[in-house]
Amino acid sequence: MAFLFRNKQKNHAELVQSTKKLTIQLSEDSKPNPKVEEELARDLAQMKIRLQGTPDAEVNQEMVFQLLSFIIQEDLLYSLANNIHRLPFESRKDAQVVFSTAFRYKPVGASDPQVLHHVIQFRPQIIISLCRGYDRRESAMPCGGVLREALKYDSIAALLLYDEPVADGKTRDLGDVNPDEPSSGNGVFWTFFEWIDKGAFEVSADAFNTFRDILTKHKALVAQYLQTNFDLFFTKYNTILVQSESYVTKRQSIKLLGEILLDRANYNVMTQYVDSGEHLKIIMKLLRDDRKMINYEGFHVFKVFVANPNKSVAVQRILISNREKLLRFLPNFLEDRTDDEQFMDEKSFLIRQIEQLPPVPVPPPNAA
Amino acid sequence: MAEAYTVLEELGSGSFGTVYKAIEKATGETVAIKLIDLENSSDELSDIQAEIGLLSTCKSPYVTEYKTSFVKGVKLWIVMEFLGGGSALDLMKPGPFSEAHVAVVCKQLLLGLEYLHSTGKIHRDIKAANVLLTDSGKVKLADFGVAAQLNDYKSQRHTFVGTPYWMAPEVIQEAGYDFKADVWSLGITAVEMVKGEPPNAQIHAMKALFVIPKNPPPRLEGDNYSRDFKDFIAQCLIKDPDRRASAKELLEHRFIKRAGKTEAMRELIERKQMFDAQQETTTHLKYYEETMVDLSPRTEDDGWIFDTIKQASIAPARQNMQAPSRRKMSRISSSDGGPAPMMQRMDMNAAPLGSVTDSPIPERRRPSSRKSSEATVVHEDPSTMPTVRRVSNVPKQPLGVDLTFGNSPSTVRHFKRVSSGERRTALSANNPPGANPFHPNPHAKTFRPSPPDSANPLDDPNDENSPPAPVYPPAPVTKDALYGRRAYGKVLDSVFQEAYANSASPHQREALGGVHQAWAQLDLVDPQGEFMLMKAMIDRLQSDSKLASALGISVSPAPTPKHTTKNSESLSGTTVHGTSTTRIRSSTTTTSTYSKTSGEHTSSPREPSFQSPVSTPSRTKSPSPLKGPKFILAQSNPHLKSHRRRQSGVVGGEKVYDRALDEKKLPGHVEPGMEQQGLLADILYGQWMQGLRSRWPLA
């Protein structure tokens, strides 16, 4: 028990310094070094306990504050974020706790998460590095957990959305961002498409959850962003996600698409989306997919096209030329979903709408 | 990924999917692979992900090891460590454990719980069936299907989850609980192992849910058990979670301290092997086989026309379907039109090698209530008590069809694991699969209405011109039929279940089950007749003043459909709803209201504590509940026919083009007697337009 005793004696500064030193050492060693790993694991476990307490012992807020100050001072989070995948198994979770507690930390009475604030202002690279955790299976889950914790704040979402690669390796200051300027498509946000599409199941699923959080929890921000980057976003979304080879990715992204479109905040995005005949084609193919949950999720996007009172000519043309087919197809479409009342209602509504289509496309009254 | 494994025989199956034994080709290691069909899984994708997320952050010698997972086609493969010793429940088949063995298992479980709890996880479903052993006797916790991850040590959970007999009182009461809930379940599991079944096993699971919080905690009594053991149980089973010992503290208990090594468990594994050998149950192994389905070529008609036709030349649809468009289409839809992608869709579940009929299925279903299957990795083998799991859109089971009794699973099939949000769904999912060809229903014909019916003054005036169609697949949708369906789905079904749950003796149960089943079939075959039957019953009952007052149905001029006569307090503990899916689907308030139809059972205990705070039973007291738009509800009753269709594996939307019936489904077609449907559609349409206006204010 000698080592435990020694560790208990490490003060906050020593603990943080030691952790940082070991983390960097771990990242530099080409081959695994069990001794370093072991000691780092002890340090991180200790740090976790000091930040989180144990079931039996509550933490002292004063001590948490001190420890976090040292963590910031030493810029420990950055080293950790870059090296989570190198940590031993349990230490990854400990590191996750360190991050989460730090990001959640608010001084008594304050509404501002102090540490997170600092990170956004001075060390946004930490957030970007956490996203890069999706590059590896080992780090995906802990990083994802931390990211979703941080994504409770709009500024983190903004940071991810407006990230652009800069030559000197720095990240952009959020103050400089012009939201009307289209994205280059090379920032970290766009890499999510690859993580979702290419990753192992857990990575992909976790990345998707984070992706969904970015897109659904920051409505005003995202609405603006999607309008500016409409073509880039939906081209990628349609080709990489909606038409993904992976069943899970495909199904989840169609569902998310429906959620995005039907969100009031995204009204303009939605109208623009449902004007496109190309989009309609993609969605109509989903209705014919041989997997019924794909059909079902596709339906919830399709209905937006049909229910739109100002259908574009392109959309009308497709619907009209398929009118007979649709009227034959829809009544039997997923007809075993009898317990889904809303679905049945919506289906009959769509049928009625399609019946009432004019014989030839009529330009919408306020066509742009 | 899938190619990296050689999949061998099936180990077990349940609502979650099927578990196979497999060999990892690269290492030669034996693994267990759980295959979940994501298309048909009743769980949300996110729940499955959560389970995997939780598992993948566990690494402990006391927890089954998760290796990897991947998606192939529509199936999720979860690769786990293979545990050859079977579950503790399996090992109990030859007989209960000795106290010494229980001590060994408890010690290992406590070590596992200590690990889980220290990383902020609650297992929430500790029971013998979820305790697996390696060949060498090592004990591991399995099945994290309902486990939870807490953010910090102080947070609590409220979700109603677990398996009834093993659930801690604070979980049942939804009062907020934490790690200590697992300790209670562990105590119950210890009793289970030494006695062969958990306390209260003789009463029905539903009733156990009332009994556990109400009664004093179970204790071990008698000279057969050591004082230490009794004390250990007493420490685990303290109703107040704050006074209950933690896993860590229990590791210091004398009973655990003197527990032997895991090698001792070998004895039980060998005992089980001997037992199996003596039983000579030569089971037919079911092997994994990939099957290709859906190779039928698609019809020409299949596919959309995405031709860009000039506006002027918009031609009747017939022409569009012809050659030029098809040429174009092949270019457009190459991604999903051809047969190639269909080839990729393989059904891994279908057609095991052995013929299905003499496969071990009947074996597993045999009515020995607590005996489990041959399967070794059974988490939720159908014959073990199914855990209350999240939503079950799973095949619906009528009460008492495969009638075993007591705590046997069949009676509580609907008792899948449920989170508090979805218990209502689970309950309402009890609608019968209905058609059981072996139980013809004598009433079906007797009470068939003969409209226009002067003999039945209570007949709905709207109904006068509805000639009941003589053929019943599909049942004609008349208003009465809708009422009938509604009455059954919303009221009678649950009444039957309640009555069933409350009756103790197997004979009563059997009788009730029979009635229920018969009624279920009536509902399936002839909902209209069902309604008439109920009406007639009410009528007669009302006319007998004594009965009427006893039942609380006053004689009133207005016809009072039975299901609205009186709504009892409703066992809404089982009908809780909470979070619904994010999608904007209206959450139907499917409140299961239990009427007092089955008078003799109404005195069953009703615990107010069981009532969920969120449940909002909409008790329709109005004499004609079917006025207004809610009337549509009846349509939503799930019934077997659709289920059959789903299970037949035919892809929806492709099959019925040629059916003569088809036309009737087309909009605009008014069937005789269905005129009120037009009204319905109008209401519906109006609602829709309103919804849309708020969405598209321009319109």
Domain ranges of chain B: 86-278, 435-652
How far apart are the C-alpha atoms of B366 and A313, rounded to whole Å?
A: 63
- Alpha-carbon span B174 to B592, nearest angstrom: 20
**Contact predicate B143/B161, CB 8 Å:** no
Contact indicator for B125, B157 with CB cutoff of 8 Å: no
For A154-207, the pLDDT digits (tens) are 999 999 999 887 766 566 666 677 778 888 888 899 999 999 988 788 899 999
Chain segment A322-357, per-residue pLDDT in tens: 999 999 999 999 888 888 888 999 999 999 999 999
Let me know: does B488 contact B428? Beta carbons within 8 Å. Answer: no
In angstroms, what CA-CA distances link B315 with A272, B105, B311, B319, B419? Answer: 28, 76, 9, 7, 54
Q: Tell me if B57 and A246 make a contact (CB, 8 A cut-off).
A: no
pLDDT score, position A237: 95
> Quick one: A271 exposed, middle or buried, by C-beta within 10 A (0-12, 13-18, 19+)?
middle
Beta carbons of A126 and A103 less than 8 angstroms apart: no
Q: In the structure encoding, which two tokens stand for residue B490, read together?
A: 């919303």
* Range B93-100, long-range pairs (CB < 8 A, 24+ positions): B93/B272, B93/B275, B93/B371, B93/B372, B94/B271, B94/B272, B94/B274, B94/B275, B95/B196, B96/B193, B96/B194, B96/B195, B96/B196, B97/B193, B97/B194, B97/B268, B98/B194, B99/B194, B99/B225, B99/B226, B99/B229, B100/B259, B100/B260, B100/B264
**B34 labelled ligand-binding:** yes
Nearest to B666 among A285, A331, A342 (CB): A331
Confidence of residue A227 (pLDDT cuts 50, 70, 90): very high
* Total count of domains within chain A: 2
CA angle A327, A330, A331 (to 5 degrees): 90
DSSP summary character for residue B669: -
**What is the distance between the alpha carbons of residues A283 and A295, in angstroms, rounded to a whole number?**
9
- Residue ending a domain, among A77, A105, A133, is A105
* Closest listed residue to residue B592, CA positions, set B609, B567, B627: B567
What is the chain B residue with the closest CA to A338?
Answer: B636
The greatest distance separating any two alpha carbons of chain A, rounded to the nearest whole angstrom, comes to 87
Would the CB atoms of B336 and A285 count as touching at under 8 Å? yes
Collect the ranges in chain B with pLDDT lower than 70: 14-15, 42-43, 151-155, 280-285, 289-302, 307-477, 504, 553-684, 692-699
* Measured distance CA(B366)–CA(A137) in Å, rounded: 44
For chain A, what is the total number of helices (H) and then of strands (E)?
Answer: 21, 0
**Predicted local distance difference test score (pLDDT) of residue B519:** 82
H or E element: which one contains B426?
helix B423-428
Q: Specify the pLDDT at position A4.
A: 52
Q: Decide if A331 and B246 are in contact by the 8 Å CB cutoff.
A: no
CA distances from B147 to B100, B121, B179, B431 (A): 29, 7, 11, 28
Which of A50, A104, A201, A275 best probes binding to B when mutated, by most B CB atoms within 10 angstroms? A201
What's the confidence (pLDDT) of residue B173? 85
Q: Which of A141, A251, A341 sits opposite B56 (nearest CB)?
A: A141
Residue A177 CA to residue A172 CA, distance in Å, equals: 8
Distances (CA, A) of A304 to A271, A280, B693: 9, 10, 13
Domain range enclosing A76: 1-105
Tell me how far CA of residue B245 lies from CA of B115, B235, B237, in angstroms. 16, 6, 9
Predicted pLDDT at B579: 36
- CB spacing of A321 vs B45 below 8 angstroms: no
Which of A55, A75, A105 corresponds to the end of one domain? A105
Please report the pLDDT score of residue B28 as a whole number: 92
Report which secondary-structure segment, H or E, holds B140.
strand B139-141
How much is the pLDDT for B345? 42
Decide if A261 is inside a domain. Answer: no
pLDDT given for residue B673 in this prediction: 55
Catalytic residues of B: 125
Detail the DSSP E strand segments found in chain A: none
Whether A250 is covered by a domain: the verdict is no
Those residues with Cβ within 8 angstroms of residue B423's Cβ, 6 or more apart along the chain or in another chain = B160, B388, B573, B574, B575, B576, B577, B612
- Closest chain A residue by Cα to residue B52: A202
Tokens of B698: 């321009």
| CA–CA min distance A177, chain B (Å) | 31
The gap between the terminal CA atoms of chain B, to the nearest Å, is 51
Using CA atoms, how far residue B583 sits from A260, B223, B425, B485, in Å, is 11, 59, 16, 27
Rounded CA-CA distance B523/B539 in Å is 20
pLDDT at B543: 80
Residue A327 and residue B667: Cβ atoms within 8 Å?
Answer: yes
CB neighbours (10 Å) of residue B363? 14
User: Is CATH 1.10.510.10 the right assignment for the domain spanning B86-278?
Assistant: yes
Q: How far is the C-alpha of A348 from the C-alpha of B152, rounded, in Å?
A: 48
Give percent of chain A with pLDDT exceeding 70. Answer: 94
What is each CA distance from A232 to A72, A225, B185, B593, in whole angstroms? Answer: 37, 11, 53, 52
Q: What is the mean pLDDT of residues A74-95?
A: 91
